[in-house]
Amino acid sequence: MRLMFFKAQVLLVWMCLLGFSVAEAQSAASSGGEAAATILARARKVMLVGRADGSVLHYRAVSASEQNYQSDRTYPPFFSSMDIEEGWFDPQSGIERIGTLTTFPGYTAPQPRVVVTNGKGAFSFAEGHWSAMPPSFLRSRNLDPWAVVADWTAAENVRYAGTEIYRDYSRDLLVRKGASGELRLFLDPKTGFPVKLDLEEKHYLWGQRHIEYLYTNWTLVGGVMVAGSSFRLADGKTEISRTTGEVEIQASNSAPVMSRPDAIPQPEDALPRFLQPIDPTVTQVGSNTYLLSNPGYTELVTRAGDEVFLLDATQGEERARKDNAAIDKLFPGHKTITVIVTDLAWPHIAGVRYWVAEGATIISHRAAREFLQSVVDRKWTLTPDLLEVRRESAKLKFVEIDGRLSLAGGAISLHPIDGIGSEVAIIAYLSNDHLLWASDFIQSVDGPSSYATEVWQAVHRDGLHPERTVAEHLPLTPWSKIEELQNWNSAGGDSNSK
């Protein structure tokens, strides 16, 4: 009741400020003929953007970003990266600056970051120059309806497209072109407020996803109307939840520098560097064993008889094609390829669809079957990949691991790690090379970590005797280094890092 009374007070104040009656709002909505420019102008008016003329909007917010792509399970609940944000938005230039402190499991101190966005891209400033950031950094901008309305106001191809029901009410619909298709902005014809930004977004694993940015809990604070809550949803599931608290209009000369970035923005569908399928380098680490490495990920390929085994399939189809070409050169005349999936983080399995289309057998933990099947079943409608082209004939051939599994006459053995932080993940031991593939669970040897300890425990539990180890983000490393770190940890050292 207290919240309802507060909202009623806010609405009354807002209507008085605008001199805008309910009857007038209903009349505007029923006409259905407002041009896009008129609808956007009304949105700026009801948000009281004019009060920030010559100034900037300063706000503080907290965002929870669900890490669905790298949590310890492929199903909820997912852990969140927690962001404490301080933002400044300049309505005149359309520039937004957000300083963020991120808290992530195991980090001993929040990780600071400053990103500047405009209607064309995201940028960071370091060492005296601007750098373009991946398009994913525009998500924070899209969570701010002030910035979204500014971008749509400045765009040239906006048109009115009628009305559509969303969240129980009819909404005015504006559309314009985006990198992956049509962008749609929903506004409430009763009040003029923006309600949702809607788009289809390319995705390296799912092909495409339906993305929605929802603006709700509008609040009069700092003399302006802001969305107290904003959400990013992907295929109907919440990925980011932002709560905006303190808001004020601030003189421009008291705000941080809000200069226009001079760097060329990255394309809207550009991939972050760790996902870019840069040509892999080939490094021999055994008589028939090689590493395929690029700046994002290392994979391992080995041959036993006529069989070739690939440990992990990262980044996507283009990377998988390059891996396949390398395998053909390394092992001409091989008959079969088996892909061993050791971890289910989305970037780690983005090449699986390609290998299924090529007829490869997929081996992974028994708990991975359902998720991998959903990856294979997903229809790529925006830009069909090889699996989509071969949909009728391509089927998932899955072999599950439930305990130790020996392959190729014992040349390769697979082992669940089964630590508290590494359930559902596996490691692989190549006995002829005395080499351990540590999946993604040894990332650094700068100090002890819980993940590395769990790998070490699995090795000793199953009686393995590696001389070297390597992983997706770890170069070839003597196993003695892992032993040394474990001995240090057992002697009384401590580390909270993963």
Residue with tokens 């009819």: 170
Domain range for 45 is 2-254
Q: Which residues contact 264 (CB under 8 A, 6 or more apart)?
A: 132
Residues 225 and 277 both lie in one domain: no
Look at residue 181 and tell me if it is in a domain: yes
Among positive and negative, which fits the CA dihedral 179, 218, 24, 147? negative
List the Cα angle 368/369/373 in 5-degree steps. Answer: 115
336: nearest Cα among 306, 295, 298: 306
Distance of alpha carbon 433 from its chain centroid, rounded?
Answer: 36
Residues 431 and 379 both lie in one domain: yes
Residues 118 and 248 both lie in one domain: yes
| Peptide bond just before 77 cis, omega within 30 deg | yes
Q: What is the model's pLDDT at position 28?
A: 42
The answer to whether the beta carbons of residues 411 and 308 sit under 8 Å apart is no
Q: What does the block give as tokens for 388? A: 């989509």
Q: What is the model's pLDDT at position 27?
A: 44
Beta-strand runs (E) in 222-369 = 224-234, 237-251, 281-286, 289-293, 298-304, 307-311, 336-340, 361-365
Residues 219 and 300 both lie in one domain: no
Look at residue 497 and tell me if it is in a domain: no
Residues 145 and 212 both lie in one domain: yes
Residues 104 and 197 both lie in one domain: yes
Q: Which of 188, 220, 254 is the last residue of a domain?
A: 254
Look at residue 231 and tell me if it is in a domain: yes
Q: What is the model's pLDDT at position 179?
A: 74
Look at residue 11 and tell me if it is in a domain: yes
CATH of the domain at 461: 3.60.15.10
Determine the Cα–Cα distance for residues 450 and 420; give it in Å rounded to an integer: 9
Q: What is the model's pLDDT at position 418?
A: 96
Decide the pairing of beta strands 336-340 and 122-126. unpaired
Q: What is the model's pLDDT at position 4?
A: 43
- Looking at the structure of the chain, the number of domains it has is 2
Q: What is the model's pLDDT at position 11?
A: 43
Residues 116 and 205 both lie in one domain: yes
Residues 202 and 300 both lie in one domain: no
Look at residue 498 and tell me if it is in a domain: no
Q: What does the block give as tokens for 459? A: 């090795």
Q: Which of 254, 285, 307 is the last residue of a domain?
A: 254
* pLDDT tens-digit profile, the chain (498 residues): 444 444 444 444 444 444 444 444 444 443 333 589 999 999 999 999 999 999 999 999 999 999 999 999 999 999 999 999 999 999 999 999 999 999 988 876 666 889 999 988 999 887 778 899 999 999 999 999 999 999 999 998 899 999 999 999 999 999 999 877 899 999 999 999 999 999 999 999 999 999 999 999 999 999 999 999 999 999 999 999 999 999 999 999 999 988 888 889 888 888 999 999 999 999 999 999 999 999 999 999 999 988 999 999 999 999 999 999 999 999 998 889 999 999 999 999 999 999 999 999 999 999 999 999 999 999 999 999 999 999 999 999 999 999 999 999 999 999 999 999 999 999 999 999 999 999 999 999 999 999 999 999 999 999 999 999 999 999 999 999 999 999 876 655 544 444
Look at residue 268 and tell me if it is in a domain: no
Determine the Cα–Cα distance for residues 126 and 448; give it in Å rounded to an integer: 31
Q: What is the model's pLDDT at position 108?
A: 63
Q: What is the model's pLDDT at position 13?
A: 44
Q: Which residues contact 48 (CB under 8 A, 6 or more apart)?
A: 17, 223, 224, 225
pTM of the model: 0.89
Q: Which residues contact 283 (CB under 8 A, 6 or more apart)?
A: 290, 291, 293, 476
The answer to whether the beta carbons of residues 328 and 283 sit under 8 Å apart is no
Residues 153 and 277 both lie in one domain: no
CATH of the domain at 130: 2.50.20.10
Determine the Cα–Cα distance for residues 448 and 495; give it in Å rounded to an integer: 6
Residues 325 and 227 both lie in one domain: no
Look at residue 110 and tell me if it is in a domain: yes
Q: What is the model's pLDDT at position 109?
A: 67
Look at residue 114 and tell me if it is in a domain: yes
Residues 108 and 22 both lie in one domain: yes
Q: What is the model's pLDDT at position 261?
A: 86
Q: What is the model's pLDDT at position 440?
A: 96
Residues 13 and 138 both lie in one domain: yes
What DSSP string describes 391-424? Answer: TTT---EEEEESS-EEEGGGTEEEEE---TT-TT
pLDDT digits (tens, 9 = 90+) for 8-25: 444 444 444 444 444 444
Q: Which of 220, 254, 288 is the last residue of a domain?
A: 254
